[in-house]
C-alpha cells in the first residue's frame, strides 16, 4: 500500500493538493469550503510538488485570517508579505502619481485645481514631527488603514511604529504633490528629491526595464517546449530524455511557486540565492538535490537566452543571472552507499520470485544482471528479446517514446542467471507487444513495491537503478573488457567507437564477455 500524504487528493487518477478552509474564514474567501490545486497524473511528481502547493494555499488562508482579524477588531500579526516603511511610502507615492494621471485623462478640470497651501504646511509639520497623533490621523490615517487591510503593516495607532509610518506617508504625499505642481506647468519629468524615494526610483527603473523587456512574456515551459522542438530537428545539443525533462519541469514548478512568476525574463540572481537558501534551510533536500535544481534552472535560462538571440534579459543585466550563483557543495557519498549489499540484493531477488505483478517479478532480475536502468526495461516488448547463434539478447531501443541516457540503443546479452530463472520461457508464452504492464510510472510502482514489501522497515535504501547498476558494474571486474563493459551498461566513452557494434559478430563476442559475469544468487 502506497504511503499516505496529508493534503494529497487522488480523483480518477489525477492528483490535487487539497486543504479545507476553516468555517470562520469562508466568508472572506467567497464562501469556498476548500482549496485545490492540480498536481497532474504522475504520483511521484505530485508528491514532489505537494509541499510548495500547500504553502501557496496556506498563504491564501493567512490573508483571510488577517481580514477576519481586521473585521473583528483583533490585533493583527504580520502578514506573509509585510512591507517596510520605505516600501509603503514609495508605493503610496506611485499610487498618488498614477491617480493624478487618471484625473488628468478624465478631463481638463483637474489641471485647473490649485494645491491647498495649508494642506502642504500640515504635511511639512507632519514630516517634522510637530503634529500630534490625532492630527496625523486626519492627514494620512486613511492611507495607513489601506495598507493595513492589504496586509502590508500592522502598526497600531499611538505607537512609535505608527508615528514613523505616518511621518513617512506625509513625506510621500508631499513629494507626490510636488509632481502635481510640476505637471500643472507641463513638466512631467520630475522625480522625488527625498533620498528614501529617490533610491527607490532607481530600483524601480530597473524593474521598469525588466517589465519592458522584449521577451518579458516568455515562460519557462515555452522555452522547454522550444528546446524539445529544436533538438528533434537536430539543432543544438542532443535530445534530453523524458526523465530529465520531468526533473527540469519539477524544478521549474518549485521555482515559479517560490518567486510567484512564470516569466523567465524577470529572473534575478537574488531570486536564485533566496530560493537556494530556502531549500537548504528547510533541511528536507540534500545539497546535491538543491544543486541539481539550480543547475536545471540555469540550463533553461541558457536555452532561453539562445532562443532569444541573446536578448532575453534586460539591458542592465548581462548574461545568465544564474552564472554567478554559488552552488552548494555536495556531501561526499561513496559508491558503496548507493549500492545494494549482496545480502540485500539476494533478498530482493528472492522476494521477486513470489511477486504476482510481472514488473516486480522480472525487472529486478533483469536490471541486476544487465546493469540496465529501470526505465530502459519497462517499455520492453516481446520482439525485443531475440536469439542469435544460440545466445539470447535484449534489445534496448531508442525512438517511439523510448530513450536511454546516451540516446543510443544497445543489444545486451541475457545473463545465464536470467535464463536459469526462466525468463526466456516466460517470455515465449507472452502475447506480442509489451511484456510489462503500466506506462511511464511503472518504475515508481516498482520502487514503492520494494520499499513497502521487500524492505518495509529500512530507511535510506538506494533505489534499484543505483542499487543494482553499481553492483553489476562491480561484477564486470571479473575479466570483462572495458569496451564491452561500457557497451553492456550503456555508458559513453566519448569515442567514435561508441557508434559501432551493430554487427552480429560483435554481439556474439559481447555475449562471450557476459559469460564472465557472476550470478548474484
388-414: average pLDDT: 88
Residue 336 DSSP class? G
Span 444-478, pLDDT tens digits: 889 899 989 999 988 878 888 888 888 888 888 88
172-200: average pLDDT: 87
Span 331-382, pLDDT tens digits: 555 555 678 899 999 999 999 999 999 999 999 999 999 999 998 999 999 9
Per-residue pLDDT, 129: 93
> Which 3 state secondary structure label does DSSP give 439?
coil
Neighbouring CB atoms inside 10 A of 189's CB total 7
Span 404-444, pLDDT tens digits: 877 788 999 999 999 999 999 999 999 999 999 887 778 88
Over the chain, what is the mean pLDDT?
A: 83
User: What pairs with residue 413 in β-bridges?
Assistant: 393
Per-residue pLDDT, 154: 82
Comparing 198 with 228, the larger pLDDT belongs to 228
> Which 3 state secondary structure label does DSSP give 20?
strand
User: Which residue, among 15, 465, 437, 43, has the nearest Cα to 246 in the 3D structure?
Assistant: 43
The dihedral of CA 115, 117, 122, 124: what is its sign? positive
| Least confident range of 88-97, 123-132, 200-209, 301-310 | 200-209
For the chain, helix (H) and strand (E) counts, in that order, are 19, 6
Residue 274's pLDDT band, with cuts at 50, 70 and 90, is: confident
Q: Is 209 exposed, middle or buried (0-12, 13-18, 19+ CB in 10 A)?
A: middle
Per-residue pLDDT, 497: 52
User: Which residue, among 454, 441, 439, 432, has the nearest Cα to 361 in the 3D structure?
Assistant: 454
Separation between Cα atoms, residue 248 and residue 265, nearest integer Å: 18
Residue 490's pLDDT band, with cuts at 50, 70 and 90, is: confident
98-110: average pLDDT: 81
Q: Is the pTM of this model over 0.85?
A: no
| 139: pLDDT strictly greater than 70 | yes
Residue 396's pLDDT band, with cuts at 50, 70 and 90, is: very high
Task: Tell me which range, 96-110, 154-168, 200-214, is most confidently predicted by mean pLDDT.
Answer: 154-168
Task: Tell me which range, 2-6, 39-43, 85-89, 421-425, is most confidently predicted by mean pLDDT.
Answer: 421-425
| 317: pLDDT strictly greater than 70 | no
Per-residue pLDDT, 201: 57
> Which 3 state secondary structure label does DSSP give 294?
helix
Residue 116 contacts by C-beta under 8 Å, 6 or more apart in sequence?
none
Inter-residue contact 252 to 296 (CB < 8 Å): yes
Per-residue pLDDT, 224: 92
% of the chain with per-residue pLDDT over 70: 87
Neighbouring CB atoms inside 10 A of 204's CB total 14
> Which 3 state secondary structure label does DSSP give 410?
strand
Separation between Cα atoms, residue 141 and residue 138, nearest integer Å: 6
Amino acid at each position: 500500500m502506497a504511503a499516505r500524504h496529508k493534503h494529497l487528493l487522488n480523483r480518477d487518477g489525477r492528483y490535487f493538493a487539497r486543504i479545507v478552509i476553516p468555517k470562520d474564514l469562508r466568508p472572506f474567501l467567497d464562501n469556498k469550503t476548500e482549496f485545490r490545486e492540480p498536481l497532474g497524473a504522475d504520483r511521484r511528481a505530485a508528491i514532489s510538488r505537494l509541499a510548495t502547493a500547500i504553502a501557496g494555499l496556506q498563504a491564501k488562508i493567512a490573508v483571510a485570517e488577517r481580514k477576519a482579524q481586521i473585521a473583528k477588531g483583533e490585533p493583527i500579526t504580520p502578514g506573509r508579505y509585510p512591507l517596510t516603511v520605505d516600501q509603503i511610502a514609495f508605493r503610496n507615492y506611485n499610487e498618488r502619481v498614477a491617480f493624478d494621471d487618471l484625473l488628468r485623462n478624465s478631463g481638463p478640470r483637474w489641471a485647473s485645481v490649485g494645491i491647498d497651501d495649508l494642506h502642504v504646511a500640515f504635511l511639512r509639520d507632519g514630516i517634522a514631527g510637530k503634529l500630534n497623533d490625532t492630527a496625523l490621523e486626519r492627514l494620512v490615517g486613511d492611507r495607513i488603514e489601506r495598507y493595513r487591510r492589504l496586509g502590508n503593516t500592522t502598526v497600531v495607532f499611538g505607537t512609535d511604529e505608527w508615528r514613523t509610518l505616518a511621518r513617512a506617508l506625509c513625506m510621500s504625499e508631499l513629494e507626490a504633490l510636488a509632481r502635481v505642481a510640476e505637471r500643472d506647468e507641463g513638466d512631467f519629468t520630475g522625480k522625488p528629491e527625498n533620498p528614501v524615494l529617490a533610491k527607490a526610483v532607481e530600483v524601480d527603473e530597473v524593474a521598469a526595464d525588466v517589465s519592458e523587456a522584449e521577451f518579458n512574456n516568455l515562460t519557462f515551459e515555452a522555452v522547454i517546449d522550444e528546446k524539445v522542438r529544436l533538438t528533434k530537428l537536430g539543432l543544438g545539443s542532443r535530445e534530453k530524455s523524458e526523465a530529465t525533462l520531468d526533473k527540469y519541469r519539477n524544478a521549474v514548478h518549485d521555482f515559479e511557486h517560490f518567486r510567484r512568476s512564470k516569466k523567465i525574463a524577470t529572473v534575478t540572481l537574488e531570486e536564485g540565492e533566496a530560493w537556494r537558501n530556502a531549500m537548504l534551510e528547510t533541511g528536507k533536500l540534500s545539497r546535491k538535490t538543491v544543486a541539481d535544481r539550480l543547475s536545471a534552472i540555469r540550463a533553461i535560462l541558457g536555452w532561453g537566452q539562445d532562443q532569444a538571440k541573446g536578448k532575453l534579459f534586460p539591458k542592465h543585466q548581462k548574461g545568465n543571472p544564474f552564472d554567478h550563483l554559488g552552488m552548494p557543495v555536495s556531501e561526499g557519498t561513496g559508491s558503496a552507499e548507493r549500492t545494494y549489499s549482496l545480502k540485500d540484493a539476494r533478498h530482493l531477488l528472492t522476494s521477486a520470485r513470489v511477486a504476482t505483478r510481472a514488473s516486480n517479478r522480472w525487472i529486478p532480475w533483469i536490471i541486476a544482471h544487465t546493469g540496465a536502468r529501470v526505465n530502459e526495461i519497462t517499455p520492453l516488448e516481446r520482439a525485443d528479446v531475440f536469439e542469435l547463434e544460440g545466445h539470447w539478447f535484449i534489445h534496448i531501443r531508442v525512438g517511439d517514446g523510448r530513450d536511454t541516457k546516451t540516446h543510443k540503443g544497445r543489444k545486451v546479452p541475457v545473463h545465464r542467471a536470467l535464463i536459469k530463472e526462466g525468463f526466456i520461457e516466460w517470455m515465449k508464452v507472452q502475447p506480442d507487444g509489451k511484456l510489462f504492464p503500466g506506462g511511464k510510472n511503472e518504475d515508481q510502482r516498482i520502487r514503492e513495491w520494494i520499499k513497502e514489501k521487500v524492505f518495509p522497515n529500512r530507511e535510506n535504501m538506494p533505489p534499484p537503478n543505483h542499487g543494482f547498476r553499481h553492483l553489476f558494474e562491480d561484477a564486470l571486474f571479473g575479466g570483462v573488457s572495458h569496451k564491452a563493459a561500457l557497451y553492456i551498461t550503456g555508458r559513453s566513452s566519448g569515442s567514435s567507437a561508441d557508434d559501432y557494434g551493430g554487427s552480429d559478430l560483435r554481439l556474439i563476442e559481447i555475449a562471450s564477455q557476459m559469460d564472465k559475469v557472476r550470478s548474484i544468487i
